[in-house]
Amino acid sequence: MSRPSPQDRAKMLRQLHSTGVLVLPNAWDAASAAVIAQAGAPAVATTSAGLAWSLGYRDGEQVPRTDLFRMLRRISEVVDLPVTADIEAGFGVDEAQVGQTVTAVLRAGIVGINLEDGPPGRGGLFELPIAAGRVAAARDAAAAYGVPDLVINARTDVYMRGIGTADERPDEVLRRAEAFAAAGADCLFVPALSDLPILTDLVARSPLPISVFTGDGGATVAQLRATGVRRITVGPAPAQAAYTTASELARELLHFGILTAASPWLSYGSLNTLLPTVPTQE
């Protein structure tokens, strides 16, 4: 049975945002994507930090573009679900390069993106016309490629980067939401906003559905659903948990000569069979 076309998968992802709340555990490589899909996720979202770490790079657009696109292609190949990728600030110094990145991501089989409004490795945010222009460039690239329904989750780091005073931040978020909506974004991602009453107010006033992330000690899915947010992710938390387990097991083995029998394991066979076989080369 053939896979749906990229445009059909983009429509599937878009439909998942239309009602209720979409919960997306984040994958960092192909195997984690397969595990998350098997767990019942309706789509797969990537984490830029986890993906970078898996390739031996720091987060913050440090991954070479060719490596990024190769990993995203492999993730999209091993799952039959729509995949949305965190492409940080677009891996481009200007709108043209952002468009090129989006074209390459679509070519890799990805049908949704996160796009940040702050330059990697520096403080502050892009001026609003520049940030909105980058969103518009992503939308134009998607249309030109033949996937007009690419889901753009425009991220604003007003809270993440502590822009302005606490009282000024909600209005700045809404100002950016309006500009990003006009530029073609589908959602507004507001990481690091943990105040539920503020989030509830923003949801009611934003022209775009709002997406957030949560983690250890953060708000529950039920609490976030009650605010009216439309999408919830967990960023690099699953990757951090996996690397923490690897660190703990390594320390046990090196210092005590054992691996804890009670450690949770995915069996070799169950994990191995989640991934497709490669046809034998003749």
pTM flag (> 0.75): yes
Under DSSP, the state recorded for 107 is: H
pLDDT band at residue 265 using 50, 70 and 90 as cut-offs: confident
**Domain regions of the chain by residue span:** 6-236
Per residue in 27-68, pLDDT (tens digit) is 999 999 999 999 999 999 999 999 999 999 999 999 999 999
Instruction: Please tell me what DSSP assigns to residue 44.
Output: E
3-class DSSP assignment, residue 48: helix
pLDDT digits (tens, 9 = 90+) for 122-170: 889 999 999 999 999 999 999 999 999 999 999 999 999 999 999 999 9
Enter the tokens of residue 79.
């799952």
Q: Do the strands 210-213 and 151-155 form a parallel or antiparallel pair, or are they unpaired? A: unpaired
* pLDDT band, very low/low/confident/very high, at 2 (cuts 50, 70, 90): confident
CATH of domain 6-236: 3.20.20.60
Which helix H or strand E contains 15, and what residues bound it? helix 6-16
The two tokens of residue 204 are: 């009611």
